[in-house]
Amino acid sequence: MTEVKANMAGNVWKVVVKQGDSVEADQDVVILESMKMEIPIATEEAGTVKELKVAEGDFVNEGDIIAIID
Amino acid sequence: MSYVDELRSRVNEIKKGGHEKYHQKNEEKGKLFVRKRLELLFDQDIDVEDAFFANCTDSSLPSDGVVTGIGKINGQNVCVMANDSTVKAGSWGKRTVEKIIRIQETAEKLEIPMLYLVDSAGARITDQIEMFPGRRGAGRIFHNQIKLSGRVPQVCLLFGPSAAGGAYIPAFCDIVIMVDGNASMYLGSPRMAEKVIGEKVSLEEMGGANMHCSVSGCGDVLAKTEEEAIQFGRNYLSYFPANFRNKPKVINPKEVKSFEKNITDLIPENQNAPFNMHDFINRIIDEDSFCEIKKKFAPELITGLARLNGKSIGIIANQPRMKGGVLFPDSADKAAKFIQLCDAFNIPLLFLMDVPGFMIGTKVERAGIIRHGAKMLAAMSEATVPKISVVVRKAYGAGLYAMAGPAFEPDCCLALPTAQIAVMGPEAAVNAVYANKIAELPEEERPAFIQQKQEEYKNDIDIYRLASEMIIDAVVEPDKLRDELTKRYQVYESKNSTFTERKHGVYPV
């Protein structure tokens, strides 16, 4: 199991996977919007999206858990 | 036994290092014997070894637990000290310390690189009066390192622990290459942390190689095996001259690797959309010449050595793929050290800008982003090697300054047609200037107004306008950038300047 965490503070702009999707390592899970930039957040490990902890429009802080990959 | 037989038998015994059981223990951990490491490190083997007989009257301490001497790497003589962890866990006694000090003094006299192959438990407490506090005690090792810094390259290959005071050897090296799983750095062991402050933590978590290469920044390169670490060290040195008086050698000029997509196809039109700066770098440098430093630490800024037509350059590039390429306290620190490293050894610098600025918010202000950013500006500003900055896309706010913008005496500031230089991006600027006006407008009129103002703003910061004002020195076709850079570095080769006259600056550390 691996936790995908926000690497900087920002707003969730797009969630690009759904619960139950299988993902590869380095695949983007969400795209944050911060400092007016698109910030893709990828999973380090491959697996299945077990849980999405955020929705589009949410504010996340650095270190917040975005998704759990199993 | 003849005199010669006695000498040979003594030499053979000492060469074996410590007791067989310690050799076995090391082997189980994937650790090589110190003499094997040296064989792999040098072109041949160690050429000259001094104080081989140190402490030879005590058969349990062959060479007093450290090998010191000189051998060749890529044909260049280098000094080395290498701990032998089969001898009392590589701990330091009086003669160990004296040997290390002497080989550093040799490196200083001969002006050749100094390598530290560290695998040591630290001081022998039983010998502390002889090796700890005095003029030629362990403190002198660090004093010498600080003196050697910038005179000759100093490289640390960390194969095992470097504990307590010993952890300062890597700290004062230009680069620290750590072997994953075995290398560690810490001031107090987990056992001590539990006893003294009540913290329960594993060695890997507190001072392991992966942690240091990705979180603390004390490590620069994470290697899977000792062989990989040694190979990295050999390759790294090929980018450097033997000392600060010389320039790096020209090595094996190669063409750029060919790709299906060229640079023009690579850069997204939308300034805010990410792309991978590594793909950009690979399209301007000699094929397979990139030697990345601190890959896992602060990856929003890429730092690495490369070759352009066989000549060493140091690249500092924003990485829009990570954290939008925004500068953070760690990225600024990373840049500051890398710039100093290149400047010290006459390696020209290349800044590739695609930067929205420094990060804002409570977290970074509390972390002192202003003083960390100042370190980067200071190092970049002071660098007197040929210095070229290229505005790839956006260069906003202090990001332009930190990345060798026109005010910081780069030899030239080039722009690609996609460049955009401004205090801030159009979205943020329109918001800042017209916030009240936007609020007053009926909601349905707002988007059109914002769009119109953003367009006006974009025209105002048009790159040809900046070229017309001579703020940038040239606008370059993306796919001709390599040629432009090669020509310009050749032209700037005779540059010989001193930043300013003084004892030294007061650094914003």
How large is the angle between the packed helices B426-440 and B446-460, nearest 10 degrees? Answer: 140
Which candidate, B370, B333, B374, B376, places its Cα nearest to that of B351? B376
pLDDT of residue A52: 96
Question: Cβ contact (<8 Å) for A35 and B321?
Answer: no
State which residues form the domain around A65: 2-69
Is A42 an interface residue toward B (CB < 8 Å)?
no
Classify domain B3-237 at the CATH superfamily level. 2-enoyl-CoA Hydratase; Chain A, domain 1 (3.90.226.10)
Question: Cβ contact (<8 Å) for A37 and B320?
Answer: yes
Burial of B76 (0-12, 13-18, 19+ CB in 10 A): middle
Question: Cβ contact (<8 Å) for A34 and B324?
Answer: yes
Instruction: Tell me if residue B167 falls in helix, strand or coil.
Output: helix
| Mean pLDDT (whole number) for B77-82 | 98
Question: Cβ contact (<8 Å) for A40 and B359?
Answer: no
| Mean pLDDT (whole number) for B353-371 | 95
Report pLDDT digits (tens) over B94-142.
999 999 999 999 999 999 999 999 999 999 999 999 999 999 999 999 9
Is A44 an interface residue toward B (CB < 8 Å)?
no
Report pLDDT digits (tens) over B441-463.
999 999 999 999 999 999 999 99
Confidence of residue B256 (pLDDT cuts 50, 70, 90): very high
For chain B, the residues whose C-beta falls within 8 A of a C-beta of chain A are 272-274, 320-326, 328, 356-357, 359-361, 363, 425, 427-428
pLDDT of residue B385: 98
Side chain identity at B308, as an amino acid letter? Answer: L
Structural domains in chain A (count)? 1
pLDDT of residue B262: 95
Q: Which two tokens stand for residue B171?
A: 């700290």
Report pLDDT digits (tens) over A9-39.
999 999 999 999 999 999 999 999 999 899 9
CATH code of A47's domain:
2.40.50.100
Residue B1, pLDDT above cutoff 90? no
pLDDT of residue B127: 94
Cβ neighbors of B190 (< 8 A, separation 6 or more) are: B200, B201, B202, B203, B206
Confidence of residue B58 (pLDDT cuts 50, 70, 90): very high
Calculate the alpha carbon distances from B29 to B179, B332, B501 in Å.
11, 36, 52
Confidence of residue B88 (pLDDT cuts 50, 70, 90): very high
Classify domain B263-419+472-492 at the CATH superfamily level. 2-enoyl-CoA Hydratase; Chain A, domain 1 (3.90.226.10)
Confidence of residue B298 (pLDDT cuts 50, 70, 90): very high
- In Å, how far is B488's CA from the nearest CA of chain A? 32
